[in-house]
A and B are shown apart, each in its own frame.
Chain A
């Protein structure tokens, strides 16, 4: 059974960069690039900000960037802004039948 581990929280000052890791354990982990990231503000629905490890949906600023090395995917927020304070979730395709696994979520705090 695949599982995704994220740090519980990260923080940074405005203008700084922060990186959130997402480490997969379990089967069929590093063998594909179907990792996506979602931003969720309190009381709101999640919003897709990165897909296929490092691609941007339309309208998402390039301050958000994604990468992957082995079993660990990462989301980097550059030039941190107050509006970036939110929860962030990674998600990986886990194969047919299981389909999707979400990470535990990371709270980003802008100091």
Chain B
């Protein structure tokens, strides 16, 4: 059974940092692109960042470029999101999501339960 479990969320002051983790199991983690998707309270979904299987490519939504860094450790079956210079507008539930394999196009076939990040003084 595919499982994605996020951790590391919490309350942080504006300008602070936080690191989210996503522990993956039930599939060959190193074979999939992985993404972070966020959802502000009462709002819609927003793709944040993704990373290629071997870590050689990574992409970000414009609003987090230069502040967030996605990384992965295939030996530990884990995905990370280092968030620096946090702003109030980064407050959201952050989901770890697996991107489907090459034969199924571009979509997210499995999601974690989410980790809440609150940026407030």
- Residues on A lying within 8 angstroms of B by beta carbon are 33-34, 36, 38, 40, 45-48, 51-52, 55, 57, 89, 91, 93, 96-105
Interface of chain B: mostly helix, strand, loop or mixed: strand
Does B46 sit at the interface, judged by CB under 8 A?
yes
Q: From residue B120, how far is it (CB to closest CB) to chain A in Å?
A: 21
Q: From residue B60, how far is it (CB to closest CB) to chain A in Å?
A: 9
Residues of A within 8 A of B59 (CB): 96-99
User: Are B44 and A103 in contact, with the CB atoms below 8 A?
Assistant: yes
**Which of A33, A36, A40, A100 has the largest count of B CB atoms less than 10 A from its CB?**
A100
Report the Cα distance A91→B111, complex, angstroms. Answer: 15
Knowing A89-B45, A97-B59, A99-B59, the reply to whether A46 touches B95 (Cβ < 8 A) is yes
User: Are B113 and A100 in contact, with the CB atoms below 8 A?
Assistant: no
Using a Cβ–Cβ cut-off of 8 Å, how many residues does chain B contribute to the interface with A?
22
Does B107 sit at the interface, judged by CB under 8 A?
yes
Residues of B within 8 A of A99 (CB): 47, 50, 59, 106
6 residue pairs A–B, Cβ–Cβ below 8 Å: A46-B37, A52-B104, A52-B105, A98-B59, A100-B35, A100-B106
Knowing A45-B111, A45-B113, A48-B108, the reply to whether A102 touches B45 (Cβ < 8 A) is yes
